[in-house]
Amino acid sequence: MAGVLAQAAPPDLFHARMQMALSLGWHIVVACFGVGFPAMVLFAEWRSHRSADQDMNALARTWAKALGVLFAVGAVSGTILSFEMGMLWPGLMERFGQIYGFPFTLEAFAFFIEAIFLGVYLYGWNRLPPRLHMLTGLPIIASGVAGAFFVVAANGWMNTPTGFEIRDGQVVNADPWAAMFNPSTAAQSVHMMIAAVMVTGFCIASVYAVGMLRGRRDRYHRLGLLVPLTVAAVAAPIQIGVGDWIANVVAKHQPAKLAALEALYQSGTAKPLSLGGIYLDDRLVGAVEIPYGLSLLIHHDPNGFVAGLDRVPPELRPPVNVVHLSYNVMVGIGFRVIGTGGLAGLDLVATSRHPAHPMVSACRRAVRPGSGGGAGGRMGGHRGGPATLDRL
């Protein structure tokens, strides 16, 4: 199985890759919460102060605690990854640490600021006045987003290395700024930040969804579902556009990677989009094909030319199956959660036209704390519609 997935790599390289995949696969999920969660926690705290909302207050405190635990786990797994950069990839670091280590240094500062203010925010809850306490949350949001940018910039460099030349086998003319702003950085970092918001929103919402399915349908649980679900549902469709952007960057700068993502062997025009299947002996077997799909996606033209793996020397071809299938799974999950968000939105719109519908009253109760005073009007939105979606 491993052979089919990864094809033949030297055993050491295979093990190093698997270890890195495991650590990074774990870290990236946890790290998403450090990027996407702080704004949600702060929003809940802000609502709790604005309208003296006990449920929002309880949510904010629970979420802050969860954020603290997740951040600690992310800090540890991030430390492990920085060890592994040297233990697993000393050759890469020895030659190129001088070029692309730079954004990691900036990330260390961002991470530091995030850790410091998270400590202040978590332990200062009862020691600081509310306004100052919320202000200490702002650096957490800013440094979380900045940290994501720096780390993804380093990863972008690994995709499209810039900022150096190789002369007689020696790395010369190092330019760490050019390395940081390589062609992949912009699209990749936006993709990652939105993904972080999606991961956070859907994961937190799912916790309260499970609670509601088990019968706990009080206002606390409804809010716990609604706030993160709304954020994630708004973020998810944006990812379609960003996904198109990033795929075009890959097609332009890394045609071999695109060919592996799409499991495309034969270069040519009017290429179909292949979903699923197994790539064996330079052929994709059992895939569902959408005619002209790939050419349309890459060039926005049904007859666009797409380069396949036949253009890549065999020893430089990436392992196709693991890349193609995980790419398909990622896109599939993306559309699945966009559907979830869309359904939630449709439900809100449809039910808002029939005020007697139980979902509407549920939402009304959810977004209107207390006895429906001024705060309810602000949060409940205009013309009585549940405006939570457009409010966020």
Partner 1 sequence: MTAAEAVLAIMWIGLTAYALFGGADFGAGFWDLLAGGTQRGRSPRRLIENSIGPVWEANHVWLIFVLVVLWTSFPTAFAAIASTLYIPLTLAALGMIARGSAFAFRHSVDQLALQRFFGASFAFSSVTTPLFLGTIAGAVASGRVPPGIAAGDVITSWLNPTSILGGVIAVGVCAYLAAVYLCADAQQHQDPSLVEYFRIRAIGTAVLLGGIALAGIAVLRADAPQLFDGLISRGLPLIVASAAAGISSIVLLMRRRLGLARVAAALAVITVIWGWAVAQYPYLLQPTLTVQAAAAPETTLRAMLISLVVGAALLIPSLVFLFTLFQRSQSETKPAAKR
Binding site for partner 1 (CB under 8 A): 65, 68-69, 71-73, 75-80, 82-83, 85-87, 90-91, 93-99, 101-102, 104-109, 111-113, 115-120, 122-124, 127-128, 139, 172-177
Candidates 229, 193, 219; CA nearest to 389 is 229
- The rounded distance, in Å, linking the Cα atoms of 134 and 131 is 5
- The rounded distance, in Å, linking the Cα atoms of 341 and 202 is 9
- The rounded distance, in Å, linking the Cα atoms of 338 and 326 is 18
Please, which residue, 173 or 326, has the CB nearer to partner 1? 173
Please, which residue, 136 or 188, has the CB nearer to partner 1? 136
Least separation in angstroms between CB 350 and partner 1:
39
Please, which residue, 204 or 389, has the CB nearer to partner 1? 204
Please, which residue, 177 or 314, has the CB nearer to partner 1? 177
Least separation in angstroms between CB 145 and partner 1:
15
- The rounded distance, in Å, linking the Cα atoms of 156 and 56 is 38
Please, which residue, 24 or 113, has the CB nearer to partner 1? 113
Least separation in angstroms between CB 107 and partner 1:
7
Tokens of 322: 């693991």
Q: Which amino acid is at 206?
A: S
Candidates 227, 246, 228; CA nearest to 367 is 227
Least separation in angstroms between CB 140 and partner 1:
11
Distance of alpha carbon 212 from its chain centroid, rounded?
26
Q: Residue 105: CB partners within 8 Å, gap ≥ 6? A: none
Least separation in angstroms between CB 82 and partner 1:
5
Please, which residue, 210 or 288, has the CB nearer to partner 1? 210
- The rounded distance, in Å, linking the Cα atoms of 109 and 280 is 46
| Phi (first) and psi of residue 254, to 5 degrees | -135, 65
Least separation in angstroms between CB 209 and partner 1:
21
